[in-house]
Amino acid sequence: MTDIIKADLLINNKSVPASSKETFDLFSPYTGKLVATVAEASVDDVDSAVAAAEAAFPAWSALSPSARGKPLKKLAEKIIAAKDELAELDAISMGRPVGGYFDADYAGVHFNYFAEAAYAQGHSSLNTPGFLNLSLRQPFGVVGVIIPWNAPLVFFSKKIAPAVAAGNCVVLKSSEKAPLTSWKVAQWIEECGFPPGVINVLSGHGQISGAAIASHMKIRAISFTGSSRTGRAIQKASADSNLKKVVFELGGKGPALIFEDADLDEAVKGTEFSIMFNSGQTCMANSRIYVQESIRDKFTEAFTRAASSRKLGDPTQKDINHGPQADKVQYETVLKYIEIGKKSGGKVLVAGEQADATLGKPLLISPVLFMEQPEDSQIMKEEIFGPVVVINTFKTEEEVIAKANDTEFGLYAALYTNDLQRALRVSKKLESGMVGVNCASPTGSWDLPFGGWKSSGTGRESLLESIEHFTEQKSIFIKVSGIGG
């Protein structure tokens, strides 16, 4: 792709510039070149998108789930057919290597599934004498969706598919760091058969359009994936406006516990991939590894070998498995944490050459491994979102559980052991929304709840649960004469 992309908004099935005519520039984190000028949605644009969604809602929600499913299926087909193009768009905007791109297939599963499985269910009850009672599940109306940049199409699909399948109309804001796949998919919305206003796709920064969505009085529910810091801001905006329902998938600082009886090769393979995939820019990454003392040296040597063999470079090339950090801000944040880690003690095992932090150079950071950091140090407590991992040691099961849980986050924890009793005991004690046993993140499953404890989120997403996020419940009490008890 050599032309500079001009990415507009999709409001009411029309591709439009921002009402203010404002745009922002998007640069490739690898070449430093301008790849797109992107519409910066204004408060007025949020209002227009909400008005379009509100107008579309009565007719859209009156359709049967299978009628609503038809355009979802078509969108799944279009996305899967265009997977190479979509991979390239994320590669040039936020540096995600095309070689590991699974997002289009993931989106296809979500649009296909919810095209057929959006039969929201209430229940009935004869448990009150003299009454036949019913509960209904109904769509909210207009819902807001705000997504991050690290796997944009994953979040676009896992939120939009259940929201519209359940009968809602959506206003989505993409991330300013990776707006291009949302923009591209928006261009197919009308031809797939979605009526105007059902899906509106905005681009822009948090402080204008994101905040306007979070505080909008006509948006009744919001689904957000991003940092815990922004989650707090959205929670406040929601409380200060109309107390909209919020579902949050937030940050992480995942622990991996490696016991001395574990299959070492598997443990190294799983934990190295978990932290280094997407150059460490994954919410679920195991950024804290705890190894039992007796196997520390063996584990660390093998981990260092694996991390050192990552192939850094141009994310548009298929053989590259480690691209640049998403942008200059991310890059500088990670470098800052590496400096903090060097000062807080411990040893640095692998630290490749750092690229120059000037825009125009690849923003590559090679894997960095710290050993034996103090448990209360900043790099053990804060999410770094880069290819930086700490390997600390432990002696006993009790000790490692306490260390693993000593965090404000609780998204994904992994443990490796061949002792089934221990695996189950430790799984129960970990304060985490997800636990991998003899596997690490991003291992998961379509039908189990995805989400975090503590400051890692509220609510759970999955094929089986997401419809519930996007429906309100209503109880109807029907007095029936002669029905008895």
User: Which stretches of the chain bind ligand NAD, using CB under 6 A?
Assistant: 146-150, 173, 175-176, 205-206, 210-211, 214, 225-227, 230, 233-234, 249-252, 283, 383, 385, 411, 452, 457
Is 332 a residue of the active site? no
Select which of 283, 439, 461, 468 is catalytic.
Answer: 283
* Burial class, 398, CB count within 10 angstroms (exposed 0-12 / middle 13-18 / buried 19+): exposed
Q: CB nearer to ligand NAD: give 69 or 442.
A: 442
CB of 417 to ligand NAD, least distance (A): 26
Q: CB nearer to ligand NAD: give 138 or 227.
A: 227
Residue 182 one-letter amino acid: S
DSSP-H helix ranges across 287-419: 296-308, 328-343, 378-381, 397-405
Other CB atoms within 10 A of residue 360 CB: 11
CB of 35 to ligand NAD, least distance (A): 18
Select which of 40, 249, 272, 383 is catalytic.
Answer: 249
DSSP, res 98 = G
Residue that is written with structure tokens 């227009």 in the block? 48
Structure tokens at 26: 């998007």
Structure tokens at 75: 């969108």
Question: Of the candidates 266, 274, 264, which has an alpha carbon nearest to the alpha carbon of residue 296?
Answer: 264
Residue 473 one-letter amino acid: Q
Of the chain, the end-to-end C-alpha distance in Å amounts to 71
174 vs 153: CA distance, rounded Å: 10
CB of 283 to ligand NAD, least distance (A): 3
DSSP, res 121 = -
Structure tokens at 58: 């009565």
Q: CB nearer to ligand NAD: give 68 or 184.
A: 184
CB of 401 to ligand NAD, least distance (A): 22
Residue number, nearest CB to ligand NAD: 206
CB of 150 to ligand NAD, least distance (A): 5
Q: CB nearer to ligand NAD: give 281 or 393.
A: 281
Is 192 a residue of the active site? no
Q: Which residues pair with 26 in a beta bridge?
A: 36
Question: What is the enclosing helix (H) or strand (E) of 211?
Answer: helix 211-214
Q: CB nearer to ligand NAD: give 72 or 211.
A: 211
Active-site residues: which are they? 249, 283
